[in-house]
């Protein structure tokens, strides 16, 4: 009796099982083969596998325009080299690498796992960089409408960096559905830029150019400049009417010589090239026979005329190309017209672009002047803050304090120490300003009581003493804080800059310093005009003996004045430390400018100090603008200017009035 009589032999059972498995797998194979995306890929399978940039376009366009939900996924997989073709049936799948020899295949239509296959049964589709660029362009329409705002933003960034004509239509289609206000504004702006470069009609492009003509941004100028570029061309006969001519050229005038005209003809293969001296020598050397070349003895070829004569003989015999005679050159030039021709074929577009660029150029010049003015005001406010304390001490007491820069340094370090105690940057700066004033006020009073008071009316000894104290304070700062620069961090709300346009911008820190300078100007004027200390200070400034006879204590006024001047220098140190490196040499960078500001402005006058700071700030920025690569030159020219200025106005811009003016 046979086993399993109903099912047959074991071999027959195995065949039945294999057939059943094939029947179970058949629906999946049919699904993969009949899916709409798979069918589309199969329609273009030949050019996809060929993988040539010249022929791949229809396949990419077909996938992008299919309207299928899988289109973006297929293009992204294609661009990432993740598409694999199964050799057995030619179907395309997304491939996931399991190990070096095995891949899992996923169906594009259903996303289903179709199984794992060895690498030798698959063919990877590897698009080159040119094909990937085409796919990237096709992906734009999907990325611009992607649900993720970050992807939409990334797509816009990519288009801004590399604008293309093909992106204009999908960009326009994505604008109405954009719900993010910032991204919509970027899309509208980019649409205008792309329309300027790639719009369909002249009217559309001209309207886009005019709508952006008031924009000073770099991307607008970068879009307009290619529209007005031109190339120099030669034409047989008269100039044609179907080209956009920028400028007609006449050989022999306006910087376009006869030699330039003929060289242009040679470049465009409209005339034979001239034979060079080197070519003449080479031709003669190659045709020496019996001690002669071109029938002329070699010994005579050192003569240029004989050399050309020999070469002409070779040319007549067909052994060298003939030389171009002056008459032939003149005839060739006369038979042609020359012009600079716009790369852009539309005259209306180039006219609109030139007009827009002209207006933009004017606005850029005005903006540059405004930006330079803001920079100069910022620098002047820094010099004013650094010099106002010196103006007080130097003007009232006549003391040349070479340690004034070190009071600025002490104020900056005070701000640093406060920030180590109070981590909140805003609060720490609020605390640091009065603390720096207190510390440097005390240091100034101590210096005046211990040193300066014994050296009145002895300017050389005062200068040497304060210079020595300056060195000592620098070394003390190095011993305490080290030689490494210490950070004085500004509050977060002072980060960044106030940007008016792509040309005008100024950092918020500089604006804060400018405001601080105005505040101290007001405080100083209030003290000098509305307080008893100010009255006594002005009295001592104008006539020390008369003030003493009226009951004013000049020594007390000197002490307080020196302390206030030092305290203001400390506050200036906090302000300067917000943008400069806080080191022991910080003050030495500003001591020279402080003295120059006081001397140029007028000793002992706050308005003179303000005028001196403005003059030096504007002059330095002006020189830096003329020679931006050499800031040392600006310092040198500024010192020369100040020396000459003092020769003609030794008392400064605002001269001191009163009896002391003649001292």
Per-residue pLDDT, averaged over 150-155, amounts to 88
Chain center to CA of 602: 41
Q: Is the pLDDT of residue 1 over 60?
A: no
Q: Is the pLDDT of residue 187 over 50?
A: yes
- Tens digits of per-residue pLDDT, 458-471? 878 888 898 999 99
Give pLDDT, residue 17. Answer: 52
**What DSSP designation does 578 have?**
T
Which structure tokens are listed for 429? 């700066």
- CATH class, domain 364-662, is mainly alpha
pLDDT band at 31 (very low <50, low <70, confident <90, very high): very low
Give pLDDT, residue 471. Answer: 92
Of 49-53, 78-82, 93-97, 452-456, the least confident = 452-456
Give pLDDT, residue 26. Answer: 41
Of 268-282, 408-422, 428-442, the least confident = 268-282
Q: Is the pLDDT of residue 23 over 50?
A: no
Give pLDDT, residue 25. Answer: 44
Q: Is the pLDDT of residue 655 over 70?
A: no
Give pLDDT, residue 232. Answer: 92
- Tens digits of per-residue pLDDT, 341-353? 999 999 999 999 9
Give pLDDT, residue 630. Answer: 63
Per-residue pLDDT, averaged over 589-601, amounts to 82
pLDDT band at 86 (very low <50, low <70, confident <90, very high): very high
Locate the DSSP E strands across 465-601: 497-499, 505-507
Give pLDDT, residue 143. Answer: 83
Of 348-352, 557-561, 572-576, 659-663, the least confident = 659-663
Give the start-to-end residue ranges of the domains of the chain: 1-30, 35-132, 144-228, 230-274+324-342, 364-662
- Higher per-residue confidence, 642 vs 424: 424
Give pLDDT, residue 553. Answer: 85
**What DSSP designation does 253 have?**
B
Q: Is the pLDDT of residue 325 over 50?
A: yes
Per-residue pLDDT, averaged over 130-149, amounts to 85
Per-residue pLDDT, averaged over 591-610, amounts to 80
Q: Is the pLDDT of residue 66 over 80?
A: yes
Cβ atoms of 558 and 394 within 8 Å: the answer is no
Burial of 489 (0-12, 13-18, 19+ CB in 10 A): middle
Which structure tokens are listed for 504? 């005008």
**What DSSP designation does 301 have?**
T
Per-residue pLDDT, averaged over 496-500, amounts to 82
Q: Which of 462, 464, 236 is nearest to 333 (CA)?
A: 236
Q: Is the pLDDT of residue 429 over 80?
A: yes
- Tens digits of per-residue pLDDT, 518-548? 888 888 888 878 888 888 877 877 777 888 8
Give pLDDT, residue 34. Answer: 63
Task: Give whichever of 315-319, 334-338, 551-555 has the largest mean pLDDT.
Answer: 334-338
Which structure tokens are listed for 271? 């005339």
Give pLDDT, residue 12. Answer: 55
Q: Is the pLDDT of residue 16 over 70?
A: no
Per-residue pLDDT, averaged over 483-494, amounts to 84
Q: Is the pLDDT of residue 135 over 90?
A: no
CA distance 60 to 71: 10
Give pLDDT, residue 28. Answer: 43
pLDDT band at 7 (very low <50, low <70, confident <90, very high): very low
Give pLDDT, residue 578. Answer: 86
Give pLDDT, residue 288. Answer: 86
Mean pLDDT, the chain, as a whole number? 84
Q: Is the pLDDT of residue 414 over 90?
A: yes
Share of the chain above pLDDT 90, in %: 23
pLDDT band at 604 (very low <50, low <70, confident <90, very high): low
**Cα–Cα distance list, 528 to 116, 398, 536, 659 (Å):** 90, 18, 9, 19
pLDDT band at 394 (very low <50, low <70, confident <90, very high): confident
Contacts 24+ apart (CB under 8 A), 328-334: 329/258, 329/262, 329/271, 330/258, 332/262, 332/265, 332/270, 332/271, 333/251, 333/258, 333/261, 333/262, 333/265
């Amino acid at each position: 009796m046979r086993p399993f009589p109903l099912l047959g032999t074991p071999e027959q059972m195995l065949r039945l099982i294999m057939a059943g498995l094939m029947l179970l797998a058949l629906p999946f194979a049919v699904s993969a083969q009949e899916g709409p995306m798979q069918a589309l890929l199969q329609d273009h399978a030949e050019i996809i596998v060929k993988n040539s940039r010249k022929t791949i376009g229809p396949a990419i366009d077909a996938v992008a325009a299919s309207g299928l939900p899988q289109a973006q996924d297929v293009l992204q997989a294609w661009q990432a080299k993740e598409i694999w073709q199964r050799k057995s049936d030619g179907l395309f799948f997304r491939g996931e690498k399991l190990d070096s020899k095995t891949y899992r295949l996923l169906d594009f239509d259903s996303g289903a796992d179709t199984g794992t296959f060895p690498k030798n049964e698959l063919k990877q589709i590897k698009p080159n960089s040119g094909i990937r660029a085409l796919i990237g362009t096709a992906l734009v329409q999907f990325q611009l409408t992607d649900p993720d705002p970050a992807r939409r933003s990334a797509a816009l960034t990519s288009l801004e960096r590399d604008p293309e004509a093909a992106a204009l239509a999908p960009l326009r289609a994505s604008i109405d559905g954009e719900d993010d206000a910032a991204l919509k504004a970027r899309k509208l702006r980019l649409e205008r830029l792309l329309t300027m470069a790639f719009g369909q009609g002249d009217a559309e492009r001209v309207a886009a150019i005019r709508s952006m003509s008031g924009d000073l941004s770099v991307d607008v100028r970068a879009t307009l400049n290619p529209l007005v570029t031109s190339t120099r061309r030669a034409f047989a006969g008269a100039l044609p009417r179907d080209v956009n001519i920028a400028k007609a050229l006449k050989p022999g005038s306006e910087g376009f010589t006869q030699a330039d005209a003929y060289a242009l003809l040679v470049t465009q293969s409209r005339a034979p090239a001239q034979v060079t001296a080197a070519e003449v020598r080479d031709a003669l050397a190659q045709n020496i026979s019996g001690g002669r070349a071109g029938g002329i003895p070699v010994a005579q070829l050192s003569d240029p005329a004989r050399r050309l004569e020999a070469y002409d003989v070779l040319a007549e015999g067909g052994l060298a190309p003939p030389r171009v005679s002056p008459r032939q050159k003149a005839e060739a030039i006369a038979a042609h017209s020359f012009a600079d021709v716009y790369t852009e074929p539309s005259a209306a577009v180039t006219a609109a672009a030139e007009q827009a660029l002209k207006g933009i150029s004017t606005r850029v010049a005005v903006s540059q002047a405004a930006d330079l003015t803001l920079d100069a005001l910022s620098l002047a406010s820094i010099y004013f803050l650094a010099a106002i304390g010196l103006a007080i001490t130097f003007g009232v007491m006549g003391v040349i304090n070479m340690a004034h820069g070190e009071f600025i340094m002490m104020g900056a370090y005070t701000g640093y120490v406060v920030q180590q105690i109070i981590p909140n940057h805003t609060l720490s700066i609020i605390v640091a300003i009065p603390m720096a004033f207190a510390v440097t006020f005390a240091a100034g009073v101590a210096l005046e009581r211990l040193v300066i008071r014994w050296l009145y009316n002895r300017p050389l000894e005062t200068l040497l003493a304060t210079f020595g104290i300056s060195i000592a304070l620098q070394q003390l700062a190095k011993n305490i804080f080290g030689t490494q620069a210490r950070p004085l961090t500004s509050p977060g709300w002072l980060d960044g800059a106030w940007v008016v346009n792509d040309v005008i911008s100024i950092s918020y820190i500089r604006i804060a310093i400018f405001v601080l300078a105005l505040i101290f100007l007001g405080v100083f004027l209030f003290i000098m005009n509305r307080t008893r200390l100010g009255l006594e200070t002005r009295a001592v400034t104008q006539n020390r003996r008369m003030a003493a006879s009226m009951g004013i204590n000049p020594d007390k006024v000197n002490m307080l004045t020196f302390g206030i001047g030092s305290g203001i220098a400390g506050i200036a140190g906090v302000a300067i430390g917000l943008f400069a490196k806080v080191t022991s040499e910080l003050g030495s960078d500003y001591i020279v400018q402080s003295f120059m500001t006081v001397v140029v402005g007028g000793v002992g006058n706050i308005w003179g100090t303000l005028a001196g700071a403005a003059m030096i700030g504007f002059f330095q920025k002006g020189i830096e603008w003329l020679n931006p690569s050499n800031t040392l030159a600006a310092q040198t020219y500024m010192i020369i200017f100040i020396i000459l200025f003092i020769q003609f106005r030794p008392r400064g811009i605002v001269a001191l009035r009163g009896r002391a003016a003649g001292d």
